[in-house]
Chain A
């Protein structure tokens, strides 16, 4: 069974995003970029399936500029087998990403696609679900635990009230939540080995997908700022101040 793992190049999660003065977006010039943290969890889960003998090949896919190739390289260093880079300088929306991934799934016929539940730049939380819809496959979002069976998988999901387990038929799309696993660091020998693994370069047009954004971003602004209040000396004073402020 092949496993496809889409990986997105995003602003590093330790970097605070700054809004551009002209309100056209967030300043990404000279900012550290990394693999979306949820996608690292996806790559890790796919590699573990291969290590357990449940997957035969792990394919990392990234849609973005030339530098997204580095993100694929990171996935290859973690243990993915090969990569597909769909090159575009457009900010591709989730639905267009899902359409490209669908075309790749039609060609590769994977048994499972593992996506991060959201990317930490646009915070859309849509791509996995949209891909499942376009393929007519089941979906298991916000995965906490994966138990692969024969032609099916039991997936425990993080939901608002606690945890829910569902069974999905394979092939399926799973989106990862934080506690599914702890992604490994690539070792130096594996980083070296990854340099020899193949990355195929494609364009959205190769898949017949128009990636022109359909949502128009009119402006991007800073959220209202909060200012620090006062420091109190004791816990009793804290309670009294909160009561005075009408907090309870």
Chain B
């Protein structure tokens, strides 16, 4: 049969998470179809049609899907589910929201946040905050899977899939969108940035947190935070990197004033290079850092900035 990937997008841009989920789907069941559910989402459908390995893009363009609320999304996916033996979504807050609803209605156990496809029914997934990796085999029948996108390389844009309209499913009428407060930033997204600089409790205040901005601007990095920094109100919730926040795996992760709690490490330990600045030389973050600097961050950050300027950044 085929697999169906639910696209992650904001009605204008297709998110990188989709290309990575398609890469996972291609290993589970081919051909791969992508469902773009949104409102005024033509550009997204066009972008999805160019992903390598995608045979067909289904577009449900209706005001009902503008915010991808869980109940209408699940109803739409269920209306298409018969034709697929695997349904996959990225493990974003959106995918995690609607996909278990689909699995329950299909009476299928969902496999959450897969890291690797061993065979079409066997997967690796992290448990206990990534302190253990479970290899699980799904039962015969439909597979419902969320994908940890940092674990897969995105499909390239060399494809040319057909685009087909599909009808909206009936509105379950259970929930409604009220408002949204999105972080405005010119910087790359945390989960797809090549460089991430994160601050922890050591930043001491929301004002001080902006010290990281200058380094981020020079390196075109995204800014993240530890749970301690978010709980203390130094940074907004969508900055949180960790087991229960965002999982990142950039080329370079710079941890500033972060001690390295288990739950934070779970969200960044797959980064290619890790650098850590902390005044406590016993901080657990140094046990996994490739480059450690024991120093007062309020001295070290301005010095880093100067050195970057000197090097022409």
A214 at the interface (CB under 8 A from B): yes
Known A133-B100, A166-B176, A167-B175; judge A126-B112 contact (CB<8 A). yes
| Residue numbers in B under 8 Å from A218 (CB-CB) | 122, 135-137
- Beta-carbon contact of B273 and A163 below 8 Å: no
Known A162-B238, A240-B307, A245-B273; judge A223-B132 contact (CB<8 A). yes
Select one of A138, A227, A237 contacting B71, CB under 8 A: A138
The total of Cβ contacts below 8 Å across the A-B interface reads 270
- Beta-carbon contact of A123 and B129 below 8 Å: yes
A34 at the interface (CB under 8 A from B): no
Known A158-B237, A161-B182, A163-B181; judge A239-B243 contact (CB<8 A). no
- Beta-carbon contact of A217 and B291 below 8 Å: no
B96 at the interface (CB under 8 A from A): yes
Known A178-B244, A220-B134; judge A229-B100 contact (CB<8 A). no
Residue of A nearest to B303 (CB): A235
A123 to B174, CA, bound (A): 27
Question: Would you give the shortest CB distance from B253 to chain A, in whole angstroms?
Answer: 9
A17 to B128, CA, bound (A): 7
- Beta-carbon contact of A138 and B269 below 8 Å: no
Question: Would you give the shortest CB distance from B218 to chain A, in whole angstroms?
Answer: 9
- Beta-carbon contact of B135 and A236 below 8 Å: no
Instruction: Tell me what chain B mostly uses at the interface: helix, strand, loop, or mixed.
Output: mixed
| Residue numbers in A under 8 Å from B109 (CB-CB) | 93-95, 214-215
A235 to B295, CA, bound (A): 8
The tally of residues in A whose CB lies under 8 Å from a CB in B reads 85
A216 at the interface (CB under 8 A from B): yes
Known A26-B132, A141-B97; judge A235-B277 contact (CB<8 A). yes
- Beta-carbon contact of B290 and A245 below 8 Å: yes
Known A162-B236, A165-B180; judge A95-B128 contact (CB<8 A). no
- Beta-carbon contact of B288 and A95 below 8 Å: no
Residue of B nearest to A247 (CB): B252
- Beta-carbon contact of B133 and A162 below 8 Å: no
- Beta-carbon contact of A154 and B104 below 8 Å: no
| Residue numbers in A under 8 Å from B219 (CB-CB) | 248
Known A166-B175, A228-B287; judge A126-B135 contact (CB<8 A). no
Known A214-B109, A215-B111; judge A16-B132 contact (CB<8 A). no
| Residue numbers in B under 8 Å from A59 (CB-CB) | none
| Residue numbers in A under 8 Å from B131 (CB-CB) | 16-19, 26, 223
A159 at the interface (CB under 8 A from B): yes
Known A95-B109, A141-B96; judge A123-B126 contact (CB<8 A). yes
Residue of B nearest to A221 (CB): B133
A123 to B102, CA, bound (A): 18
Report, nearest first, the 4 A-B pairs whose CB atoms are least far apart: A138-B174, A235-B303, A229-B290, A129-B100
Can you offer 13 A-B residue contacts whose CB atoms are under 8 A?
A19-B131, A127-B100, A141-B70, A141-B96, A160-B93, A160-B191, A215-B137, A217-B136, A218-B137, A219-B134, A233-B293, A235-B301, A238-B300
Query: Which residues of A approach B to under 8 Å, CB–CB?
Result: 11, 13, 16-19, 26, 38, 93-95, 98, 117-118, 120-127, 129-134, 136-142, 144, 154, 157-169, 172, 177-179, 214-223, 226-243, 245, 247-248
